[in-house]
Amino acid sequence: MLKVIIYSEQSSNRFLYVLTWIFRDFCSFQMTHDLSVLNAHDGPGICYGKINSQTKAIQIPDSGYLWTPEVASVLPESAMVHFPITHLETDIFSFIFFSLSRAEEYGMEDRDTFGRFKAENSLAYKNGFLKLPYADLVKAELFESISKKWPAFQVPLPVYNRQITYDIDVAWAYLHRSFFRHTYGVIRDILHGNFFAIRDRWQVLNHLKEDPFFTFSRILKIHAELEDSPVFFCLMGNKSKIDRAVGVHSGAFKQLIRDLASKYIIGLHPSLKSGSNIKELKREYTLLCTYAEKEIIHSRQHYLLINLPGTYQNLIDIGVKNDYSMGYASECGFRAGTCFPFLWFDIEKDICTELTVHPFQAMDVTFWVYGQNTKEKILSALKDIENQCRAVGGTFTFIAHNSSFSGPGTWEKWEDIYVKFLNDENI
C-alpha cells in the first residue's frame, strides 16, 4: 500500500486523531509542514489549506476548526458536508472530527426528560443524514478520490458484521421482588384494570409458569442456531424507579451472571444514579466483577445517558475499555456518523483516549415506544439501516432486551418480528 503524504501549515492532536482514524487500518501516512516534501512525493498526497502544491495533490480547504483550543460545538459552514457527496469541496477533516468527537453535545442544555442529548438537536438529524454512516461515507469518498489519481491506491472493503447485544435491566418480572414491590404491583394492576398481569404474577409465584422476563434459555437457543455471540450488559443498580434491577443480591442473579460470563462477553449497565455519583459507579462495577469472577471492560449506559466528557472520563477511571452507548433511544441511525468502533477523543483534555466506542444503530424499544409499530415498517427500517452498514463494510449493532418478549409492559408482537429480523426473513 502506498504512503500518503499530508501537508498542512499547522498541526494539532485533533488533526492527528482524524488522520489516524482515516488511514491507520489501510495504509501509512506522514504529516509534513514542508511543502517540498509533498511536491517531491510521487505517491498520494493531500494539501490541507490554501496553498496550492506543484503536484496533483488533493486539495482540502482548511476552515480553522481543528486549531481552535476551546470546545467549539458549532461546525463552520465551510466544513459542512452535504449528501450525496459529489466531490470534496469542504473541510472534511473538521467534519469528521466534529462527528466522531460529538463536539455538539458538549454543554448542550436542551435535553430530554432523562437528561439525554436529543437526536433532533444533532446536525445529522437537522440536515437529513442521520440514517447514513456519514463519516464513513466521507472517508470512502476521500479514498475514491485518491484511487482515481493514484490507481495503485486500493483499499479493501472491510467485512460486514452484525452484533446483537442485550441490556438486562430487569431479569425477572415477578420473582425475587420484595413484599412491598409485589403489593405495589398488584395495586397498580388493579387500578389499571390489568387483571391478566395479576393472574400472571400469581402463576409465576406459584411456579405454574416461567417468569416472562427470564427469557435467557430462548435467547441463547436462538443465537446457538445462528452461531453468533451476543453481548450482555447487566444493570446492577436498584435505587430508584428507573434503576430497578431486581434480585441483585440473590443467588439466582449471581448464577445468571456467572453463566453468561463463562460463555459470552458481558458488560456493566451503569445506572442513572451512577452518572452523577462516581462512588456508586465503582460499587456497581465492583459488584459485577465479583459476580462474573473476572475483570469487566465493557459497558453501556442505562437509558443511553451520556454526558460528555464526564460519562466517558468516569468509565475510563474505573477500568472500562469499551463503551456501547453511542446511539439514540428515539431514533435509529448513526449518532457519530460511523458503524465502526473508534477511539474516543476527549476534547476537554485534548487527547485521544484508549476508550473504544462501539456505536449502535437500532434498538427494540425505539420501535414500539418512539416510532413504527407494524411488522412491515420495522423490518423495512432495519433493512435500510443494515444495508447502510453493509455498504461500507461496517458493523450493524442492535440493542435488544431480555424483557421485551411479550412480558408486562411490552408489545406482544415483537418476538415474532425480532426472530424474523435475526433470521433475515423478509429482509
Burial of 249 (C-beta count, 10 Å sphere; 0-12/13-18/19+): exposed
Indicate the average pLDDT of the chain: 91
pLDDT in the model for residue 415? 86
Parse the chain into domains and list their residue ranges.
4-149, 161-173+211-422
- Note the pLDDT tens digit of each residue in 196-253: 677 777 677 788 888 889 999 999 999 999 999 999 999 999 877 787 888 899 999 9
The mean pLDDT of 372-382, rounded to a whole number, is 85
pLDDT of 401 above 90: yes
Return d(Cα 303, Cα 51) in angstroms, integer. Answer: 48
CATH 3.30.70.920 fits 161-173+211-422, yes or no: no
Q: How many CA atoms lie within 13 A of 147 on its CB side?
A: 13
Percent above pLDDT 70 for the chain: 93
Check: CB of residue 74 under 8 Å from CB of residue 107.
no
Locate all alpha helices (DSSP H) within 61-120, ordered by sequence.
92-101
pLDDT in the model for residue 189? 66
Return d(Cα 26, Cα 20) in angstroms, integer. Answer: 10
pLDDT in the model for residue 329? 95
- Note the pLDDT tens digit of each residue in 147-176: 999 999 988 888 999 999 999 999 998 888
- Note the pLDDT tens digit of each residue in 45-98: 999 997 766 678 999 999 999 998 787 889 999 999 999 998 899 999 999 999
Check: CB of residue 311 under 8 Å from CB of residue 324.
no
pLDDT of 426 above 60: no
Give the least confident one: 197-201, 288-292, 351-355: 197-201
How much is the pTM? 0.94
pLDDT in the model for residue 184? 64
Check: CB of residue 362 under 8 Å from CB of residue 398.
yes
- Note the pLDDT tens digit of each residue in 29-40: 999 999 999 989
The mean pLDDT of 301-317, rounded to a whole number, is 97
Using the structure block, give the residue that is written with the C-alpha cell 384494570. 193
